[in-house]
Structure 1
Amino acid sequence: MSSNSGTPVTSPIHAGRSLNCKVLMLDDTVQNFPIPLKGRGIDLFNAVIKKLQLIECDYFDLQYNNPELIPCWLDHEKPILKQVTRNQLFFKFLLKFYTPDPGLLEEEFTRLYLLALQIKRDLLSGDLYCQEHTAVLLASYIVQAELGNYCDEYASQSYISQLHLLPNQTPEIELQIMEHHKEHMGQSPAEADFNLLDTARKVELYGIQLHSAQVRDFFSLNIFANDGVAIFIPLSIAKTAMYVVKTICFLSNVAIEIACWGLGAEGYKDVVEFYFPSRNWSKNFWKKCIEHHTFFRCHTVHKVPRSKTKVISHGSSFRYSGRTQKELVDFAREKSIKPVPFER
């Protein structure tokens, strides 16, 4: 069938032989990446990594929102169009695994630029859960890194108003930031960024994304996975370290089941079921548990084809496909890394 101009009418899916993927970078710029029509997640990820010349790339990943608006990490093994539709090819390049010690990162570009940008983003969005006085201190390091030393020209805190640092930034808070800024006299941008990271990593909920869940008695709580699985209840955090977790099962409904061995002499086993708003919410959190456990706790990952095995409950073939933190640290130390030029 042809149009009046004689040009053949093609399906939108076959209108081009490539996907125009847009990626929001950590510096808030949007980059375009043409990917083959049948390209997998790894193809887009590699294109972004090549653009950044990033060596320690496994700490980062690409995130998108599914139809339920659930933030999901792009599966590297699956075709992109099996995960998103062609009119939703928008991704965010974000830090996925927050290293507990930024000193483990070999690249200054990774440590003092990309990681610092992620902390600034988390602070502004409210995703870095901390006390107000800690948030103010963190914001003051950002001011020092971006504006340099405090000077007499800054007669009031109005110069801080031009910077978007905190979600609830009031004149009173800006005045506190200014007082801390005065204390950072002489710090270079690199030193201020280092102090930003060093302070942020000591925050109890550093690198944490909370997920709403319920237990059997319908008591609402927040749960998260980082280097362990933890339950967050106001005024307290009950942590279950990953090394005592026996199994993490994704159930067929909206729940996951976590069985862990007790640390006492009897070695008892405790099983807890957590219920999520939907099956997709549940499976999304289960995947994060698998990935974080593998990245932080395992020495190496054995690459095997995805298939139904007894290890993963209900026949799911999902498994973490990147390098572990240990593998990444060893790789970065052995490789001769050339400094990547960057501007703050």
Structure 2
Amino acid sequence: MTGREDDKRLVVGAEERATLEAWAEQAGSGLGLRSRIVLACADGLSRKEIAARLAVSSATVAKWLARFVERGLDGLADAPRPGRPRSTGRQEAERVIAAAAGGSAVPSTRSMARQLGLSQSTVARIWQEQQIAPPASQVLPRELLSDRVYALLRGWIVSGELVAGQRLVEAEIARRVGTSQAPAREAIKRLAHEGLVISYPNRGSYVAEISDEQAREVRDIRVLLEEYAARGAAARIQPETLQQLTGDVLAMQRAAGDGDIGAFRDADLAFHRRVCAACGNSFLLRLWRTIESNLWSLHVVGNPLYEGDWMAMAGHHDDLVTALASGDPDEAARLFAAHARGEASRTRPRTRPSA
């Protein structure tokens, strides 16, 4: 399911919109009304405007938008009602779904919904009522479920299977990997901490969209700030600051060893923030804090998509500490600028001539 959002509107993907528009044509049906609510929000209308246009309460608008954000298209369906007689069409659907589940290739609920002329949520309910389990090869062991779901989601994002701007729906992820929603929720939170996912309150979570042009511009500014900060810090660095910077490097090394990219990025940002604070110019630290969120969201510091050696990256920071401790402003500025440009692996500390 694709989609993204900004501060004013919910943006849905092409497949979602096509389905919603088809449902919206169902005059007099609850599903049609709910689809029109979501489409109106996607077109930029406020909840108050939607309520007035569709002659419903604002609470109704809020309810179905929240359901859509949480569960996607499935969230727009009615909950199953106890005792409701099953139609001949439903009985036929149950037979087809049971037969499909017994095949070698299990189709998606979306494709079966199209085949049967039913909503995807109805097919999903029948699927669950029949207690059809995912294929054994897709069922994850109970231990460390959130870690396994995290690894799968991260792999799909890095490979491009989940594209930038795509909405991540916990219920769909859980169904796909054969778990409850809790591991999917924890995995999404972890990816959000790394910067690969962006979560918006009451809107949902989306694969982060990165602008190469914005990243280049922010990186250029970072080079200027880092070079200036290193030059000033090298001239006045204090032993306690060097000790703190060494602690940040150790934290990066621990995170690299644990494969915890979020923790690595935290320590990485703390390291560079500390150098800015040590340079003796309070306004530089303010400037750094101004762009820090962009350094994080645009992956300019500790790029979570980095495929190299994270332990080696931590080691490059150790070289930076050594350069500051040397008291040589030019050497420190050279190494920090190269590091900010992403050239740390090709820029080594100069060897001092022996006395």
- TM-score, normalising length: structure 1: 0.22
Write 1 or 2 for the structure with the bigger share of strand.
1
Larger radius of gyration: 2
Write 1 or 2 for the structure with the bigger share of helix.
2
- TM-score, normalising length: structure 2: 0.21
